Structure 1
């Protein structure tokens, strides 16, 4: 289904023509659509590759961030990540950079029962331990991740009202209280930026890969840690937290981020019902703690 933010429809014919133009040795491999999110369309190329195309101008720089930084970060990380194996450039047929990345056998975590995710919560903790290290000054800037949350949240109030969410007053009051926690006082750390369960692949009860680094940035790790509520139940959160030595203020900010992101994920429930479901789960979990 086409979502309302899409600016370019990345069809099979377009993918085939771009491959033929720029990577002809891949052009005759079978193509199958693997999904379209808010920012990118994915096409599986043969058995082992995936082509990743921005679908709107605002998301186009995210692919270049992955191309620049994933080769640097991947050797530090304990699970597979989609380091580009080929790079596509803008052309007459398509205006932005694009990538060919490995295909990982696995199921996005949101397709798995929540209790089953607890088994690999320690693996995700190890991923964060490896990633959350001081970032260089030229790490990508991202005004929506790793930054302080405004306790007033005027934009979020408008979204909650527009969505007509149950428990709207509780959501906003709890988020306001949590976001007032003391700010991050350490160096800006590397962040994935969007580690919700649709970007975590599981296989045979383990964390197979972490994908979609388009929001990669640096700053307060609390925005990454929001996945404790978006992905897990209470037991899974406990397993995640026991391996991460962040203070209570960081976890309070993370819980505020969970409520914030959970609302944002519900903005297009018809076009992206799986994201809306992740958001509903996140609100339930964050309000229960």
Structure 2
């Protein structure tokens, strides 16, 4: 399955229908992915959604060869494009024929407003113990490095990811004021933001980005369960400056270790240039600070994602 990161306390209102009748209609209109036999599915459509996020609802619909299936249903008009973008990139990544450091969601079929996927058992990386979180951060660093180093399909650009850092200045200032942080944390956030703005901007080719690799979008298997962690929720995928993805990476482990693992794995032109790397690091920490402020203003500190934001801002 493709999970949706846990929603903030107040979801934006849905402007598309998400009810049993609509789910049944989307299931009837599914177009199978290559090699998938929809007739083999044991259809058992639930009466209610299993979970609901900002853009999508997750609706249990049955099983295929013992694997639970959910329909990821767009609940907002803007979500339609995000689902389409996600499917395009997942197809491309699976078509590369290379072994990725992390798993990918398995798309089985698509409809106008929905995607049929396998449910992934596990917990998100914001809920695991620190030792596991550190290991996952390094694997995610290698995953992002691999994605960034490959071909970038023509996906639509994201207005808030992979963009020049200065375009997020207004949002940074607003969230910093709303966050009500201790003076030391405010000074640290401002210093990292200024350093990022002062760093040389990204001028190389636009790299393929996940767009939102925060800890709520990495599913870690339960202890003892087989398989790698899975990077989910590719709706924000885009092309641009890898610093925004590295900002999301730093939310997992706010220190040099994941950045070092990223640099050791990445193969895009310029990764070995020290000046390019130092500017990328500065922009990444600025992005991480921006994202952490967004988390602490959206979630209480007792929420796992709220705790993620506070850890970054305290580091």
TM-score w.r.t. length of structure 1: 0.82
Structure 2 gap ranges (5+): 1-6, 31-37, 272-276
| 1:4 corresponding residue in structure 2 | 11
| 1:71 corresponding residue in structure 2 | 91
Displacement over 6 Å in runs of 4+: none
1:30 and 1:98, CA in 2 relative to 1: closer, same or farther beyond 3 A? closer
CA distance in 1, matches of 2:76, 2:297: 17
CA contact (8 A) 1:10 1:53 kept: no
Question: Match for 2:24 among 5, 17, 24?
Answer: 17
CA contact (8 A) 2:18 2:73 kept: no
| 2:34 corresponding residue in structure 1 | none
Query: What are the equivalent positions in structure 2 for 1:75-114 lying under 5 Å apart?
Result: 75-76=95-96, 78=100, 79-89=102-112, 97-114=113-130
| 1:223 corresponding residue in structure 2 | 244
Question: Match for 1:61 among 65, 81, 103?
Answer: 81
Which region of structure 1 is more displaced relative to structure 2, 120-129 or 23-32?
23-32
CA contact (8 A) 2:156 2:238 kept: yes
Matched, 1:251 2:281: yes
Question: Match for 2:235 among 204, 208, 214?
Answer: 214
Question: Match for 1:263 among 293, 299, 303?
Answer: 293
Which region of structure 1 is more displaced relative to structure 2, 272-281 or 18-27?
18-27
Question: Match for 1:176 among 194, 216, 223?
Answer: 194
Offset at 1:242? 5.8
1:152 and 1:227, CA in 2 relative to 1: closer, same or farther beyond 3 A? closer
CA distance in 2, matches of 1:30, 1:151: 44
Question: Match for 1:146 among 162, 170, 177?
Answer: 162
- Deviations along 1:198-256, one digit per CA (max 9) or x if unpaired, are 11111248742110000011111111111332112537536634634541211111111
1:36 and 1:278, CA in 2 relative to 1: closer, same or farther beyond 3 A? farther
Offset at 1:101? 1.3
CA distance in 2, matches of 1:139, 1:10: 26
Question: Match for 1:118 among 131, 134, 138?
Answer: 134
Question: Match for 1:199 among 205, 214, 217?
Answer: 217
TM-score w.r.t. length of structure 2: 0.76
- Deviations along 1:51-99, one digit per CA (max 9) or x if unpaired, are 112222233310111122210122446132124211122xxxxxxx211
Structure 1 gap ranges (5+): 90-96
1:27 and 1:168, CA in 2 relative to 1: closer, same or farther beyond 3 A? farther
CA distance in 1, matches of 2:133, 2:94: 23
Offset at 1:118? 2.1
1:283 and 1:54, CA in 2 relative to 1: closer, same or farther beyond 3 A? farther
CA distance in 1, matches of 2:23, 2:158: 32
1:29 and 1:235, CA in 2 relative to 1: closer, same or farther beyond 3 A? farther
CA distance in 2, matches of 1:58, 1:238: 33
Q: Matched residue pairs, number?
A: 277
Secondary structure class of the residue paired with 2:103? coil
Query: What are the equivalent positions in structure 2 for 1:269-280 lying under 5 Å apart?
Result: 269=299, 273-280=303-310
CA contact (8 A) 2:207 2:242 kept: yes
